[in-house]
Amino acid sequence: MPRPGSRGAWQRTGAVRALLLLLPLLAACGRKPVDATPEGTARELLERLEVVHGDPRASRAVFDLLSKSAQTNLSDRARRASAATGKRLAPEQMIAPSHYFLRFRPQQWSTRTSGVRAVVEVVGLDPATERAGIPCVFEDGRWRVDLALSTLPPIEKRPTDPLK
């Protein structure tokens, strides 16, 4: 074993430092972004939804995986809620904390892709009753979950007073 301060100890320390500097680069090269595939995006969305529980950062992380149309819908809802309550609400706050739960634990994942659209099929332990499709869309070079949110009805205004 080399003595501290000897050439062998210095070389070993240099090799360890070089390895420590290269590890993050090697790890980054081998890992695809979660939104590189429809399945990766769907898996990440489910994982993020499980930890929302009122945490604004967790809600924002979920919001960021949604398609533009879903984000626009939630933004419209936030605007209406803000007008009704008098407090500014962010679009990600429309993702109800603790109101999300999985109907089943996914066991199998598969993807059907057609152009910029995909459906991630998720199957649980009982394929007859535990099955769901997660729609995705490719936008701005990334896959996003395209949640089907109901369209908001137009805002109704009171009729104006005909006597005035």
Q: Which of 12-16, 48-52, 133-137 has the lowest mean pLDDT?
A: 12-16
Domain boundaries of the chain, sorted by first residue: 33-145
CATH class (in words) of the domain with range 33-145: alpha beta
In this structure, which amino acid lies at residue 26?
Answer: L
What is the mean pLDDT of the segment spanning 50-65?
88
Structure tokens at 5: 């301060």
Q: Per residue in 125-154, pLDDT tens?
A: 999 999 999 999 999 999 999 988 877 777
- Give the pLDDT band (50/70/90) at residue 99: low
Which residue pairs from 70-77 have beta carbons closer than 8 angstroms and sit at least 24 positions apart in sequence?
70/144, 70/145, 70/146, 70/147, 70/149, 73/149, 73/151, 73/152, 74/149, 76/152, 77/152
Helix or strand or coil: residue 148?
coil
Token pair 């089943």: residue: 104
Are 78 and 94 in contact by the 8 Å Cβ rule? The answer is: yes
**Res 161 pLDDT > 70:** no
pLDDT, residue 17, reads 52
Are 62 and 48 in contact by the 8 Å Cβ rule? The answer is: yes
pLDDT, residue 162, reads 66
Q: What span, in angstroms and rounded, lies between the C-alpha atoms of 58 and 61?
A: 5
